[in-house]
Chains A and B, each alone.
Chain A
């Protein structure tokens, strides 16, 4: 197992050092092998010196793994007349891409607040698990529809469990008055991480607040969104959204730990979930930027599921829930990369929730947050550190859960990365609702570690800031 993981890490590192390639090879082939005027010993010394210099330069050695540049075969020479695009390039097919996230890993116990796209090993309650999983396969299709719309479809297969529509929506491109509308099934603009797909995350697992407050798959579903870019001297966009959400499934037999209380998806067939967001952005010079967001959402909570020996107790169904969120994203990245490929991004997000009381469960507040720092220490290397906390300040439905995680990411190219991820989790108890007894989480302290490979093929659109 360890050997396999090592092999996985080594492969892309090797690839980066792979064959000499185009430039020099061209010259060599065309003009015969150049002599080695300095003799074998000098050659060895030169090689060693090059290796040393590149090692020293690793942070800054060359330009990005992702430079779009021309094919090498036509080097210099006379003007090449424009070649008509071959038929494939002129088709009206959408951009199509597939993204794979796969890993080997270890878990001391199942995750308490698993997001739908977290890696799922063969876990059983209270037992260790080790092995492999395919965390997600994403299929993406996007294209401009006509002069008025563009469309994006993202299908996902999380943990090989079946095809889901992660998002499928149309976006207007020509509404007046700085308006933009979105319709279909999509991720809400609530907070910062909720709108992002798995491959944009800097860590293998999503933050705890995602599943705890926004839902197993985050706040996403069929709905409509209207957004407005305010005509101000700084960037401010306001969003209004409505969704029709379904309640999560009740836990199956044999489960003793209750799933997190869902914020949305309960109530009648005409109950919608509403959300609104404001996002502002301030650049400070070329290198520094700050992005701020506040979000609110309200819907109907389906219930708290209490597994018992004989089945499941449904507590507090149809309570109204209110979510308030705040997020800040701070980034330092010099525009001129000659000084090195260093950057720092700090991201913090908090969500507070109020659930109304009902006959069987009292109402109350709970909340959670995470804070993460990702530092680009060299051109291809990123280090991340994140802390999560749930159940603050006190909680009517969540036990206090703490998590610390770290990630180290090697980016072989824009299209492939390998990530090592380790987390330690402390859960003091399960949900704590007055008059209702839940079993404690066993064991309270647990670690998990993953080695993740993320690769992307095809044409995948650029991501927003």
Chain B
């Protein structure tokens, strides 16, 4: 702590106004976090993402070329809650970049201030599938969480680059206003979704369900990370028929044949949804991402 304070003082003492050419290099594990950083960082940051939006964020190949990207980073943004545990730690160590190691200013776990759901309240083990002891990491879609992430990023950018603090706060306020405006604009779509019964492939829509008031009746995976089996799907379809489930939600990096069959047999509709910026070429930021999802959802009910 003393070290950090000293480093801050030193940075303050020597910080000249940052020339535009020396933008802070922000690297994110998933593109949505990078996109939010661009919202609050503006011209003062350059953003690059390790994972792609059309990629399952649990399974990014830890290619050594990504160490090069991290080597030059001033700030690493990651989802946390062990979402990236299978690939990010060896990249951070191999980057040889002291600034972004765990515990440093340049390493921001974006889940820090998120009201995390699905935190196990009883003892867990892997017979339950590959469950997540720290809670559900798929939190970046709802507006309330996007605002929290943006606030955390703005605060961290201000610590790393105090000269830009005013700009970051201004951008953050503008972002929050745009989110509020978007929520108003999306209201007719979100209102339609309240109480709609859904089944999802993976338990990755919980935060969205909370925001929109969707009722999750079940999951295609019998246990997190365990592939569907006929017995489970049979029972799921029976439950879906009894509950009149309208929608089956799945990310587009899952194989959708099984999901399609289940939807068909249960009289529901399958939606193949993006969950990250860049999932489709047209999805360039958090706003278009959420809007794309809402349009697909609301036009299906």
Interface of A toward B, CB cutoff 8 Å? 16-28, 31, 34-37, 43, 46-47, 49-51, 53-54, 56-57, 60-83, 85, 89, 144, 147, 150, 171, 173-176, 178-180, 229, 231, 234-235, 237, 279, 281-283, 286, 289, 291, 331, 333, 335-338, 340, 379-380, 413-415, 461-465
Nearest-neighbour CB distance to chain B for A279, whole angstroms, equals: 8
Query: Is B164's CB within 8 Å of the partner chain A?
Result: no
Q: Which of B30-38, B40-48, B63-71 lies at the interface? A: B63-71
Q: A34-B242, A67-B202 are in contact. Are A176 and B54 (CB under 8 A)?
A: no
Q: A46-B237, A234-B65, A337-B56 are in contact. Are A69 and B258 (CB under 8 A)?
A: no
A282 to B63, CA, bound (A): 9
Query: In the complex, A75 Cα to B93 Cα: how many Å?
Result: 36
Are B243 and A413 touching (Cβ within 8 A)? Answer: no
Q: A66-B130, A70-B135, A463-B90 are in contact. List 20 more A-B contacts (CB 8 A).
A: A17-B230, A20-B236, A21-B232, A23-B218, A23-B219, A28-B235, A28-B239, A31-B242, A65-B130, A69-B204, A72-B203, A76-B210, A147-B104, A281-B65, A338-B254, A340-B255, A379-B227, A461-B89, A461-B90, A462-B85
Quick check: A85 and B134 within 8 Å, CB to CB? yes
CB neighbours of B67 from chain A (8 A): 229, 235
**A217 CB to nearest chain B CB (Å):** 23
B93-133 interface (Cβ within 8 A of A): 93-96, 98, 101-104, 114-122, 124, 126, 128-133
B210 contact set on A, CB distance < 8 A? 76-79
Contact A462 B201 (CB under 8 A): no
Query: CB-nearest residue of chain A relative to B71?
Result: A229
Asked if A64 meets B62 with Cβ closer than 8 Å, knowing A50-B261, A69-B224, the reply is no
Q: How many A-B residue pairs have C-beta atoms within 8 angstroms? Tell me.
A: 317
B291 CB within 8 Å of chain A: no
Interface: B223 (CB within 8 A): yes
Q: Please classify how large the interface on chain B is, using the bins under 10, 10 to 19, 20 to 34, 35 or more.
A: 35 or more
The docked-state distance in angstroms from the alpha carbon of A92 to that of B52 is 33
- B178 interfacial contact with A, CB 8 Å: no
Residues B121 and A83 in contact, CB atoms below 8 Å apart:
yes
Name A55's closest neighbour in chain B (CB-CB): B230
Q: Contact: A338 with B255, CB < 8 Å? A: yes
Residues of B close to A283: CB separation below 8 A:
63, 65
Residue pair B61, A337 in contact (C-beta under 8 Å)? no
- Point out the residues of chain B lying under 8 angstroms from A176, CB to CB: 98
Q: Which of B187-207 contact A (CB under 8 A)?
A: 199, 201-204, 206
Most buried by B among A20, A69, A234, A414: A69
B159 on the A face (CB < 8 A) = no
Say yes or no: B93 contacts A23, CB within 8 Å.
no
Question: Is there an interface contact between B128 and A63, defined as CB atoms closer than 8 Å?
Answer: no
Residues of B within 8 A of A76 (CB): 206, 209-210, 214-216
* In contact, A54 and B228 (Cβ under 8 angstroms): yes
Whether B131 lies near A70 (C-beta < 8 A) is yes
Measured between C-beta atoms, what is the minimum distance from A23 to chain B in Å?
3
A279 to B68, CA, bound (A): 13
Main secondary structure of the interface of A (DSSP, over half): loop
Contact between chains at B218 and A50 (CB < 8 Å): no
One of A16, A35, A414 near B130 (C-beta < 8 A): A414
Report whether B220 and A26 are in contact in the complex, using a CB–CB cutoff of 8 Å.
no
**Interface residue ranges, B against A (CB under 8 Å):** 3, 52, 54-56, 58-65, 67-68, 71, 82-83, 85-90, 93-96, 98, 101-104, 114-122, 124, 126, 128-137, 199, 201-204, 206, 209-210, 214-239, 241-243, 252-258, 261, 265
Known A83-B119, A235-B64: A68·B227 in contact at CB below 8 Å: no
Of A17, A22, A69, A237, the residue contacting B231 (CB under 8 A) is A17
Asked if B115 and A81 sit within 8 Å, CB to CB, the answer is yes
Determine the distance from Cα of A464 to Cα of B94 in the docked complex, in whole angstroms: 9
* Residue from B85, B133, B199, B226 having most chain A Cβ neighbours under 10 A: B226
- Among B56, B64, B135, B243, which residue has its beta carbon within 8 angstroms of that of A64? B56
Lowest 8 A-B CB distances belong to which pairs? A34-B242, A69-B224, A23-B218, A70-B118, A67-B225, A21-B222, A62-B227, A60-B255
Whether the Cβ atoms of A51 and B131 lie closer than 8 Å is no
Chain A positions within 8 Å of B68 at CB level: 229, 234-235
Query: Could you tell me if B199 and A62 are in contact, using CB atoms closer than 8 angstroms?
Result: no
In the complex, A120 Cα to B76 Cα: how many Å? 46
Q: Which residues of the partner chain B approach A461 to less than 8 Å between Cβ atoms?
A: 89-90
Which residue on B lies nearest to A63, using beta carbons? B254
Cα(A49)–Cα(B262), bound, Å: 10
Known: A61-B228, A72-B224, A150-B93. A413 touches B242 (CB 8 A): no
Nearest CB in chain A: distance from B292 CB, A: 17
In the complex, 14 of the A-B residue pairs with CB atoms within 8 angstroms, ordered by the A residue number, are A23-B219, A23-B222, A24-B236, A54-B228, A54-B230, A61-B258, A72-B129, A76-B215, A79-B210, A81-B115, A340-B255, A380-B227, A461-B89, A462-B62
Residues of B within 8 A of A234 (CB): 65, 68
Q: How far is the CA of A281 from the CA of B65 in the complex (A)?
A: 7
A72 to B104 alpha-carbon distance, docked (Å): 33
Nearest-Cβ distance from residue A116 to partner chain B, whole angstroms: 25
Q: Which B residues lie within 8 Å of A20 (CB)?
A: 222, 229, 231-232, 234-236
**Do residues B225 and A63 form an inter-chain contact, with CB atoms below 8 A?**
yes
- Whether the Cβ atoms of B131 and A413 lie closer than 8 Å is no
Question: In the bound complex, do residue A465 and residue B217 qualify as a contact, i.e. CB atoms below 8 Å apart?
Answer: no
The residue on B at minimum CB distance from A331 is B61
Complex Cα spacing A326 to B220, Å: 46
Asked if A462 meets B255 with Cβ closer than 8 Å, knowing A27-B243, A80-B115, the reply is no
| Contact of B217 with A286 in the complex, beta carbons under 8 Å | no
**A27 and B98: CB pair below 8 A?**
no
The verdict on A61 contacting B227 (CB below 8 Å), with A23-B219, A82-B115 known, is yes
- Chain B residues whose CB sits within 8 angstroms of the CB of A237 once the complex forms: 64
Question: With A and B bound together, what is the CA distance between A82 and B112 in angstroms?
Answer: 10
Most chain A CB atoms below 10 A, which of B114, B122, B203? B203
Q: B93 CB to closest chain A CB, in angstroms?
A: 7
